[in-house]
Amino acid sequence: MTVTDTNAQRFSPLHQAHIDAGASFTDFAGWQMPVRYSSDLAEHHAVRTAAGLFDLSHMAEIRVSGPDAGAYLDYALAGQLSAITLLQAKYSLLLAENGGIIDDVVVYRTAESEFLVVANAGNRFAAVDALQQRAARFDVTVTDESDDTALIAVQGPAALAILAQTAGFGASADLRTLRYYRAVTGTFAGIDLPEVPVFIARTGYTGEDGFELYLPNANAAALWDALLAAGTDAGLVPAGLASRDTLRLEAGMPLYGHELTRNTFPAQAGLGRVVNLAKDTDFIGRAASEEGPSAEAPVLVGLISTGKRAGRADYRIFRSLDATEPEGIITSGALSPTLGYPIAMAYVPAPLARLGTEVYVDVRGTRIPATVTSLPFYKRQK
């Protein structure tokens, strides 16, 4: 299956708003999404210091409902989702039988017997297929709601204040006391539009405080405009996928297709804690996870360098200046806009993974020294 064919040239319900804002577009899993509006760096800094507005409508929303929903997700995913409370969120993994990662997801409990699974756009069909196959012996319904659902994220220290000032937008509980990885229901009534429910989650992919807002496609553009109107004075700017990538990299968050693949065991990516081997029921990928990756399997580390030349995805890592065989590979890398020096995530064999180990990155023929460091590279002050 090629996702690009199935998905050829999809457009977000906010596409016209992006054109009007002068966005440059990039193909992302078949979707034409904003890569930047004016400047990647300005958008990145805005999220760190004020707020950024992201269109994530390409992401996949999969509803799981029915009496067995909790037990089913415990079987279908690596975590114990039946244990999360109403309106709690949990990061989880959809594993293959061999223990590899089909997708990483965020799961919300939206009712006693209903959950929302949010999957990556590029893995939408793989995730839906796997979730539907795994539902066979459970009393649940798995519904792909992606085509009807828009997702807007407001990320940054000003996010909370901006939501409080957004016309027509309301939450059913005080957002100031909403904890991270918790959600509430809300509503939005755009001008000349009927009031619709909005699912409001205090989650994100930037390393900042922020919210992710799920609502019907038809109302997304009005909410986008209302958020911008409310937030412009506070420094809110629309932010594209380029800044989203550097923000999540600084925050040490994995990106499917880079740090996570079907050939990656969660333990290699530092996600062993996400695979709940303590739960007393079987789940897909359990046997392989119990066995775990081989001792020689590379593990994910952070790398930092001095200077300005950044290692990037697929660049090779050597243990010395004159070593002839590469021993590791970068999965994501950039000159960190916040920190001012090159950062990267990379897979290296265990002997090179100790904190402080000096390695070399082959940057287009030049070996640049780098130091193994802990993740994340950036942590916000709370």
Residue 39 binding other proteins, by CB under 8 A: yes
Residue 63 binding other proteins, by CB under 8 A: no
Beta strand residue intervals within 202-295, DSSP E: 210-216, 236-238
Q: Cα(6)–Cα(242) distance, rounded to whole angstroms?
A: 24
Q: What is the DSSP string of 5-28?
A: HHTTTEE-TTHHHHHHTT-EEEEE
Residue 310 binding other proteins, by CB under 8 A: yes
Q: Cα(124)–Cα(139) distance, rounded to whole angstroms?
A: 22
Q: Which is nearer to other proteins, 43 or 327 (CB)?
A: 43
Q: Which is nearer to other proteins, 64 or 251 (CB)?
A: 251
Tabulate helix, strand, coil % of the chain (nearest 5): 25, 35, 40
Q: Which is nearer to other proteins, 201 or 247 (CB)?
A: 247
Q: Are 330 and 346 in contact (CB under 8 A)?
A: yes
Q: Rg (Cα) of the chain, in Å, rounded? A: 21
Which residue in the set 335, 353, 357, 376 belongs to the binding site for other proteins (CB under 8 A)? Answer: 335
Give me 86's structure tokens. Answer: 């109403």
Residue 312 binding other proteins, by CB under 8 A: yes
DSSP state of 105: E
Among the candidate windows 47-55, 230-238, 305-313, 372-380, which touches other proteins by CB under 8 A?
305-313
Residue 36 binding other proteins, by CB under 8 A: yes
Which residue in the set 334, 344, 359, 375 belongs to the binding site for other proteins (CB under 8 A)? Answer: 334
Give me 21's structure tokens. Answer: 């804002």
Q: Which is nearer to other proteins, 36 or 319 (CB)?
A: 36
Number of residues in contact with other proteins under rule CB under 8 A = 19
State yes or no: 212 annotated in a binding site: yes
DSSP state of 33: E
Q: Which is nearer to other proteins, 252 or 337 (CB)?
A: 337
DSSP state of 128: H
Among the candidate windows 98-106, 116-124, 295-303, 329-337, which touches other proteins by CB under 8 A?
329-337
- Annotated binding residues for substrate: 212
Binding site for other proteins (CB under 8 A): 24, 35-36, 39-42, 44, 242, 245-246, 308-310, 312, 334-335, 337, 364
